[in-house]
Amino acid sequence: MKSEPDEFGIDDLERVQQEPWDGVRNYQARNFMRDQMRIGDGVFFYHSNCDVPGIVGLATVATESYPDPTAFDSDDKHFDPKSDPENPRWYLVDVKFERKLKRTLSLRELKEHADELEGFRLIARGNRLSVMPVEKAHWDYVLGLE
DNA sequence: GCCAACGTTGGC
DNA sequence: GCCAACGTTGGC
Point out the residue nearest to C10 (C-alpha to C1').
Answer: A49
Closest residue by Cα to residue A71 from A53, A45, A89:
A89
Instruction: Say yes or no to pLDDT of A99 above 90.
Output: yes
Whether the CB of A15 is less than 7 Å away from nucleic strand C comes out as no
The segment with the largest mean pLDDT, out of A53-62, A77-86, A120-129, is A53-62
Q: Tell me how far apart the alpha carbons of residues A45 and A30 are, in angstroms, rounded to a whole number.
A: 17
Q: Please give the nucleotide, over all strands, whose C1' is closest to the CA of residue A80.
A: B8
pLDDT at A92: 96
- Using one digit for the tens of pLDDT, what is the confidence trace for A22-60? 999 999 999 999 999 999 999 999 999 999 999 999 999
Q: Which residues 88-127 on A are within 7 A of strand C at the CB atom?
A: 107-108, 111, 127
pTM listed for this prediction: 0.94
DSSP E strands in A16-139: the ranges are: 18-20, 42-47, 54-61, 66-67, 91-92, 94-106
> Domains in chain A, ordered, with CATH?
2-145 (3.10.590.10)
pLDDT at A116: 95
